[in-house]
């Protein structure tokens, strides 16, 4: 909501562009029969709620790597520049340092998040073990149908996930 409100305050003429589809790279996670990118707006209104999905790196990658992906408009590029400016504003974003055992829970459609580069320890016994988990509870936020190409399903409690050839549905807790 903060980003939405700040765009409205600073550059309201850019808001319509953020509700238009942006070609977004799947980064190799291409389900059978799908294109290596999908189109999705950054902001969505659905079931009385505002949701957001934004990773500029994936949008730029789709522009660079897939000539068949629709080209972004000037307004879409300006809107992304403003979002980046806002996301990097220390008055808006929150920086966190993780320590062993920390858990972070975020709602992907309400809070944009990213991490800085990570350099692992050289000794295998000291390597970081990071587990990312998508939770989709039965009472979760309803998502518009346009999210289905990204998540496999928009049904709360059964959102599917990204399944590509070789996907394992379990994770070893010890380094292999």
What is the arithmetic mean of pLDDT over 13-25? 97
pTM to 2 decimals?
Answer: 0.82
* Predicted pLDDT at 31: 81
pLDDT tens digit string along 113-160?
A: 877 777 788 888 888 777 777 777 888 888 888 888 877 788 877 766
Q: Give DSSP secondary structure letters for 49-94.
A: EEEE---HHHHHHHHHH-TTSPPPPHHHHHHHHHHHHHHT-TTT--
pLDDT tens digit string along 41-50?
A: 999 999 999 9
* Predicted pLDDT at 48: 92
* Predicted pLDDT at 5: 96
Strand 43-46 with 49-52, pairing: antiparallel
Torsion angle of alpha carbons 93, 88, 49, 31, nearest 10°? Answer: -110
* Predicted pLDDT at 122: 87
pLDDT tens digit string along 69-106?
A: 999 999 999 999 999 999 999 999 888 888 878 888 88
The crossing angle, in degrees rounded to 10, of helices 2-10 and 74-87 is 120
Res. 7: pLDDT tops 90: yes
How high is the mean pLDDT of the chain?
86
- 65-83 burial, b at 16+ Cβ within 10 Å, e below that, comes to eeeebeebeebbbebbebb
Diameter of the chain measured on Cα atoms: 53
| CA-to-CA dists, residue 37 to 40, 65, 73, angstroms | 10, 10, 17
Is the CB of residue 79 less than 8 Å from the CB of residue 59? no
The crossing angle, in degrees rounded to 10, of helices 56-65 and 74-87 is 150
Res. 16: pLDDT tops 80: yes
What length does the chain have?
A: 176
């Amino acid at each position: 909501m903060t980003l939405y409100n700040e765009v409205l305050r600073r550059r309201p003429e850019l808001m319509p562009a953020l509700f238009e589809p942006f070609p977004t790279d799947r980064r190799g996670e291409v389900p059978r029969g799908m294109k290596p990118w999908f189109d999705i707006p950054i902001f969505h209104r659905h079931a009385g709620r505002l949701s957001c999905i934004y990773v500029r790196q994936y949008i730029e990658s789709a522009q660079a790597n897939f000539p068949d992906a629709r080209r972004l408009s000037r307004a879409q590029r300006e809107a992304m520049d403003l979002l980046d400016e806002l996301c990097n504003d220390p008055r808006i974003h929150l920086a966190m340092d993780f320590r062993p055992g920390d858990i972070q829970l975020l709602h992907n459609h309400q809070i944009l998040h990213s991490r800085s580069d990570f350099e692992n320890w050289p000794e295998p016994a000291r390597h970081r073990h990071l587990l990312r988990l998508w939770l989709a509870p039965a009472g979760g936020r309803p998502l518009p149908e346009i999210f289905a190409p990204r998540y496999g399903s928009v049904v709360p409690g059964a959102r599917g996930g990204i399944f590509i050839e070789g996907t394992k549905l379990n994770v070893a807790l010890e380094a292999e």
